[in-house]
Structure 1
Amino acid sequence: MRTAKWIAAIASAAFAIYQVILPVYAFMPDIKERAIHLSLAFVLIFLGGSGRSRKRWVLDSSLTVLGITLCLYAFFNYSDIMEQYGIPKGHVQVLMGFLLVALILEAARRAVRPALPLIALATLLYALFGHLIPGYFGHPPYSLSTLGGMFYLTTGGIWGQLLGVSANTIAIFVFLGSFIVYSGGGAGFMKISLRLAGRYVGGPAKVAVVSSALFGSVSGSASANVASTGVFTIPMMKRLGYKPEFAAAVEAVASTGGQIMPPIMGAGAFVMAELIETPYIKIVASAALPAILYFFAAWMGVHFYSLREGFRGLPEEELPSWKDTLKASGFFFAPFCVLLYFLLEGRTPQYAAFGALLSTLPLMAFDEGWRLDLPHALNKLKQAVLNGARQAAFIASICACAQIIIATIAFTGLGVKASSGLLSLSENSLFLALLLAAITSTILGMEVPTTAAYTVAVVVAGPVLVEMGLYPLVAHMFVFYLAILSAVTPPVCGAVFIASGMADADWIKTAKMALKLSFAIFILPFYFAYAPSLLLLGSPLEAIVHFAKLALALTALSAGFMGYLRSELGLARRAVLVAAGIMIFSPTIWIWPVGVVAGSLAYFKGGKELEKSV
């Protein structure tokens, strides 16, 4: 309905103003700032997608009013709530607590797939009926009053740390990404990607890798990345003869990597910085080398596949000129430079994002050629606000839902019990602990957004890995990497489904190819768990050595998986290359040199000269 659209538009503008100003100038008590954040998210989720039928409008508007009322009650009664220490004053507050929980579950269901609210519902049932479970995983009985008060009247419940990260940090960066894209940065991503990668072997596919890395560093969402850059790269690859399955796989793999690509890395980096109390700039710096290696492996996979199939780069006439490229790239380099300047100067990430966002406003008044284009400026601003508000609202619902899970796990002691169980199963073996943590993170990542999957998984697996001797940053980064696997790993593989739909491709074949291109993400977390210098937790020389080893190993594995090195490879030589790549990963001093020798033999026995086109 038109009324719902108008309300959503006004709420989007209010949301943008609130979230941009809040972290920098409008400091408020935790519950107050989070209550406003959640209430605006409710408006956008329930009314933003409201249908045309009157029944749907009545339902959505009722849910919106209820959500706003519950949030405003907490806002205006903040002082009284703080003095209650989680103890409700009567049944009304208990009911309000459970109503807010129900609204958050419904909002999360609408924003993302049902898996996350179902997990939250399962933890709630555990809190209510876990006392009936005999043995180790049972807990004392908790009354509805106790649980309702915990959820609604404390900062350990719904108003907890994760919703605070969403309100204070994530939202302003989401708006920054949206403003960069709509001010002209989106076109800039594509032009500089074409200019840098388009002329090489497999140029169109390499453009997808580069553009998705650039765009993903801003969006931090595999699905949003596929939907944005895939519209351009997938048809371009298909037009030049690439199979639909390969085109879709390349876009899905590159888009998934955007979640680990600095400087923004989506919401996960901000949550990680908060949980381990580490400066955001250190998280970003530590993530740089593994992210580069991930995209390097994807690039080499594209390269070897294109050589095998005989694909070449784009003709020069289809590439943008350097002049046009430099002009267009200014639309995202300018805010990026402002962002990095403030971060390196020691300002808070919120302040840096605020400054970078302000720098995009003048850019809205220009077209791609830097000609004044005032008639379209207002529409660009409108689209940036609407898109940013929608994404920020979705993330708010995800964080609030994940906060319910975390609060319940902490309150019932389930997290400690699960961690102790994992520690017991691992029998003091770091590799076994890593493997169990990886399985936990991957399973939780299925059908659940990365940020929520990482947050829930790290509550269980993080303490175990730290207990086994890992740095907290390494443990959290390990879980974070494994939590994004579901985007390209069957049976869920959300990014693969979206990309294969856009390419009109068989999703099973697409998933198989995606695994060949994204294999690095299965290996990198285990490697930096044993070699933390890759995350810059050691000497620079160690970091360089490990980076070089990994680059060599990933090249050998990629060639083996794609069946091409200097010429098309037979099964035996492919097996030798895969074995060589695995051996190079080994930290044992005599094993990895053997892998280097085996890989060298495969290279020099490979037939005709390798084309110098990387």
Structure 2
Amino acid sequence: MATNKNSPATQIDLSKAVDAVEAETNLEIKQSLWRTIIIVIAIGLVGFHLYTTIFGIFPALIQRSIHLAFALSLCFALTPAVRSSSRTKVPWYDAILIVLSLLTTLYIPYVHDQVLENPLLWVSPVDQVFSVILLLLIVEAGRRAVGWTFPLMVVFFIAYAYFGPYFPGIWGHQGFSLSVILQSLYHSSNGIWGMMLGISATILSIFAIFGATLIAIGAGESFFKISQMLTRNSRGGTAKVSIVSSGLFGMISGSAVSNVVTTGNFTIPAMKRTGFSNSFSGATEAVASTGGQLVPPILGAAAFIMAQILGIDYSTIAIATIIPAALYYLGAYVGVDLEARKRGIKAQAKGNWKDDFSWSSILLFIGPIGVFAYFLFAGYTPSLGGVWAIVVGVVLFFILRFRSGEKQKSPTQMGLGVAIASARTVLQIAALLACAQIVVSLISMTGVGVKLSAFIIEFAQQNLFLGLLLTAIVCIVLGMGLPTTAAYVIAASVLGPALIQLGLEPLVAHLFIFYFAVISTITPPVCAAVFLAAGLAKAHWWKTAVDALKLGLAAFVVPFAFVYSESLLWMGPIPERILSTVTAAAGVVLLTIASIGYLSRQLPILFRIVLAISGLLLVVPHPLYSVIGLIVGGITLAIHLIIGKRRQAEEKLMNAVK
């Protein structure tokens, strides 16, 4: 058992953690000319998206092509061809790719009118060459940004579209010439310039700027301070700081992987120093970072895409995710507390929570988020809410720094930091969604999406549970090689219609897909967040994955629960919502106790099985099952506690006799 040590060594180094969060605002390029060029492009990107959000976006093809011009240029300027290498200068070949990116994208506004009049008939030699070049540029940008999976998918679906007549059975189709495929992608608003890139060019870019602004004004420090304030004097406090801070930061970053890298460098060593095992420390960070994409009101990028696909207000999605997100973090929090109890890890700090209280930290976080939430639920567009949140965040920063008398960043430093951090995020989002848009377009062109939906329905034989199980497996498999947003986009385009045909409401079906796309990052055998966290913790990845599954066990049950009870998505009568939430929370606690295997002492395997079944019965939205689960689970816990007290009494008696 680990012993508690109330020393600075057991705390998170706040200054270093903040520096790591703010490292995204730095530019490593040493060449003065290229530094200037990159800064100008990055500032132009920020200015373009703020201007079009406030004064109105340009026609779709123009808005999206200019956006992609910025993103591709920055991708080849900032992202090395070999991902493991650092980037301190821009090589000559990337300079060529930047020029080609500008030519092929900015050519679209030049021929905008002709394209609208005859999208597939108006074809010149320049169009043909540019369509090939831009496709290759997007594939390469996707490879640099997210790895080989998406580029390989693009190549596969292009081959499928071309060789359609040669595929057997229902999977065959008439086939398309390369000329038709390329021009459909380059000229059509359903090709490269389709809805996915449109979302990137409007909503997601604003939130990239919003997240960069929060980092630049020091909200990263706020995340850690608020976390320490909330978990002070709490058993296993360093792990709980990880859960709260990673959840808050993940809500802004929208990426489990980047979240693990940013916050895990400091939360994982702190957890290890206080007595948690290497694997459990890594698992805690992976689970906490992954769940940030489920936290409203911002959620991850996939949620904004969902709103556009379904044609509903984003606020509807934000409200629906409140209870599932709370259940996710309830399971993680209880799991950490039980693990700390098992290892004898006590509170790491003594004193009052007011010792960590800071109005500036509270306001720098609550102010911008609160403004965004107000605009969101007042019926304004998420983009406009994001712009006003940016304004409020910057104003609060300078007011608070002026009142405190601290040395403050100049507006120039602030602006450059926001521009660089925004550029890093936007280039990844745009490359990702441009590749996703190509895949979705080819799925639609070939009709394979309809065929896959029919196959799933036939496989499930109208059985909703089998359909859900197959969907969950596919989402997890897709998430093994793709970021959450990409996994959701592809899965939603293929599996969404099938679930809807099986009787689900569109929002429920898409939230189910979204949820499993998110937690795929902690699901072995390929689990990106776990791999990174295990590396930082110097732990075996499989042990870390097993601990992550134990800590996040409830996360795999909750999506099935809200499918069968929409009250967990805050729908239906109020009493039913409250009752479902309470019973689901009780079920999550029992499931977590069963997975960790400890309460007052180690739980026998039979007790763990009974508690797991009881937890499942409580999560299932059925009054009779909930009552049975509550009674059986309560009796099991009572028996365990009674046996534990008797053994304690016997041990004391034995010690006294000795």
Question: Does structure 1 retain, via aligned residues, the 8 Å contact 2:78–2:87?
Answer: no
Residues 1:29 and 2:59 aligned together: yes
Q: Which runs of 5+ in 1 are unaligned?
A: none
> 1:10 corresponds to which residue?
40
- Which 10-residue stretch deviates more, 360-369 or 533-542? 360-369
Task: Choose from 124, 134, 153 the match for 1:100.
Answer: 134
Instruction: Name the structure 1 match of 2:431.
Output: 397
Contact 1:202 1:312 in 2 (8 A): yes
| 2:488 corresponds to which of 451, 454, 457 | 454
CA contact (8 A) 1:189 1:211 kept: yes
What is the rounded CA distance, in whole Å, between the counterparts of 1:272 and 1:65 in structure 2? 34
Q: Secondary structure at the match of 1:606?
A: helix
Q: Cα offset for 1:588?
A: 4.5
Counterparts of 1:312-351 in structure 2 under 5 Å? Answer: 312-316=346-350, 321-322=354-355, 324-351=357-384
- Cα offset, 1:493, TM superposition: 1.0
Bigger drift between 517-526 and 409-418 goes to 517-526
Q: What CA distance in whole angstroms lies between the structure 2 residues aligned with 1:23 and 1:64?
A: 26
Pairing partner for 2:343 from 309, 321, 340? 309
Aligned pair partner of 2:585 in 539, 545, 551:
551
Question: Paired residue for 1:171, among 198, 205, 208?
Answer: 205
Q: What is the CA deviation profile of residues 544-575 of structure 1, one whole-angstrom value per residue up to 9, with x for unaligned ones?
A: 11111111111111111111123321222122
TM-score of the pair, normalised by structure 2: 0.89
Aligned match for 1:242, one of 270, 276, 284? 276
Name the SS for the 1:564 alignment partner.
coil
Residue 367 of structure 1: how far off its partner (Å): 4.8
After superposing the two structures, state which structure 1 stretch, 101-110 or 230-239, moved more: 230-239
Q: Distance in 1 between matches of 2:571 and 2:600?
A: 37
The one-letter code matched in structure 2 to 1:234 is I
Which residue pairs with 2:446 in the alignment? Answer: 412
State which of 633, 646, 649 in structure 2 corresponds to 1:599: 633
CA 1:62–1:608: 2 relative to 1, 3 Å: farther
User: What is the TM-score of this pair, normalised by structure 1?
Assistant: 0.95
Deviation at 1:87, TM superposition (A): 2.7
Paired residues for 1:464-483 under 5 Å: 464-483=498-517
Asked if 2 retains the 8 angstrom alpha-carbon contact of 1:44 and 1:393, the reply is: yes
How many angstroms does 1:52 deviate by? 9.2
Matched, 1:59 2:93: yes
Distance 1:562 1:52 in 2: 40
Q: Give the match's secondary structure for 2:174.
A: coil
2: CA distance, partners of 1:55 / 1:305:
47
1:531 and 2:565 matched: yes
Shift of 1:345: 2.3
SS in 2 for 1:590: helix
Q: How does 1:562-601 map to 2 (within 5 A)?
A: 562-601=596-635
CA distance in 1: counterparts of 2:40 and 2:534, whole angstroms:
36
Q: How far off its partner does 1:157 sit?
A: 0.2
Deviation at 1:530, TM superposition (A): 0.9
Q: Distance in 2 between matches of 1:17 and 1:373?
A: 27
Residue of structure 2 aligned with 1:20, choices 40, 47, 50: 50
Equivalent residues in 2 for 1:162-201 (5 A)?
A: 162-201=196-235
8 Å CA contact 1:328–1:368 kept in 2: the answer is no
Amino acid at match of 1:361: V
TM-aligned CA deviation for residue 21 of structure 1: 2.2
Distance 1:308 1:138 in 2: 58
1:110-135 CA distance string (max 9 Å, x none): 01121111112111111111221132
Cα distance in 2 for partners of 1:471, 1:311 equals 45
Deviates most, 415-424 or 360-369? 360-369
For 1:146, what is the secondary structure of its paired residue?
A: helix
Structure 2 counterpart of 1:388: 422
Distance 1:363 1:586, change over 3 A: closer
Q: Deviations over 1:242-272 (max 9, x none)?
A: 1121111101001000011111112111100
Farther off after superposition, 2-11 or 478-487? 2-11
Post-superposition offset of 1:320: 7.0
Give the AA of the match of 1:546: S
1:18 to partner: Cα distance: 1.2
* Matching residue of 1:541: 575
Match of residue 319 from structure 2: 285
How far off is 1:198 after superposition?
2.9
Tell me what 2:285 maps to: 251
Is the 2:114–2:122 Cα contact (8 Å) retained in structure 1? no
Partner of residue 26, structure 2? none
Q: Distance in 1 between matches of 2:484 and 2:453?
A: 21
* Counterparts in 2 of 1:482 and 1:410: CA distance versus 1, 3 Å: same
Task: Supply the AA of the counterpart residue of 1:494.
Answer: A
* Counterpart pick for 1:353 among 386, 411, 418: 386
1:268 maps onto 2:302 in alignment: yes
**Deviation per CA, 1:317-354, whole angstroms, max 9, x where unpaired?**
6x874464333121111111211222232211111100
CA distance in 2, matches of 1:22, 1:36: 11
**1:511-548 CA deviation, whole Å, 9 max, x = no partner?**
11001111122111111111112112212222111111
Q: Closer, same or farther in 2 for the Cα pair 1:15/1:604, shift >3 Å?
A: same
| Contact residue 15 and residue 389 of structure 1 kept, 8 A | yes
Deviation at residue 453 of structure 1 after TM alignment: 0.7
Give the aligned partner of residue 3 of structure 2: none
Segment drifting more, 197-206 vs 456-465: 197-206
- Report the equivalent of 2:14: none
Provide the alpha-carbon RMSD of the alignment: 2.2
Amino acid aligned to 1:355: W
Task: Give 1:56-95 correspondences, 5 Å limit.
Answer: 57-95=91-129
Distance (Å, rounded) in 2 between the aligned partners of 1:265 and 1:176? 13
Q: Which residue of 2 aligns with 1:503?
A: 537
CA contact (8 A) 1:95 1:148 kept: no
Say yes or no: does 1:229 pair with 2:259. Answer: no
Aligned partner of 2:9 in structure 1 is none
Among 471, 475, 494, the alignment partner of 1:437 is: 471
Task: Name whichever of 367-376 and 548-557 sits farther off.
Answer: 367-376
1:30 counterpart letter in structure 2: A
Relative to structure 1, the CA distance from residue 544 to residue 369 in structure 2 (aligned partners, 3 Å threshold; closer, same or farther) is farther
Paired residues of 1:94 and 1:144 also in contact (CA < 8 A): no
Aligned runs of 1:97-176 on 2, under 5 Å?
Answer: 97-176=131-210
- 1:34-57 Cα offsets, whole Å, 9 max, x none, are 001000001111011358999972
| Structure 2: distance between partners of 1:248 and 1:182 | 27
Instruction: Give the corresponding residue for 2:17.
Output: none
Deviations 1:396-429 (A, max 9, x none): 0000000000000001111111111111111111
Q: CA deviation at 1:379?
A: 3.0
User: One-letter code of the match for 2:362?
Assistant: S
Return closer, same or farther for 1:4/1:468 CA change in 2, 3 Å cut-off. same
Secondary structure of residue in 2 paired with 1:361: helix
Q: Which runs of 5+ in 2 are unaligned?
A: 1-29, 646-658
Whether contact under 8 Å (1:339, 1:353) holds in the other structure is yes
CA contact (8 A) 2:243 2:332 kept: yes
Tell me the distance in 1 between the aligned counterparts of 2:644 and 2:266: 30
Amino acid at match of 1:348: T
User: What is the alpha-carbon distance in structure 1 between the residues aligned to residue 39 and residue 447 of structure 2?
Assistant: 42
Supply the distance in 2 between the matched residues of 1:145 and 1:236 (Cα, whole angstroms): 57
State, as a whole percentage, how many aligned pairs show the same letter: 36
Q: 1:414 to 1:69 in 2, by over 3 A?
A: same
Task: Tell me, yes or no, if the aligned pair for 2:296 and 2:322 is still in contact at 8 Å.
Answer: yes
**Secondary structure in structure 1 of the residue aligned to 2:571:** coil
In the TM superposition, residue 311 of structure 1 has moved relative to its aligned partner by 0.9
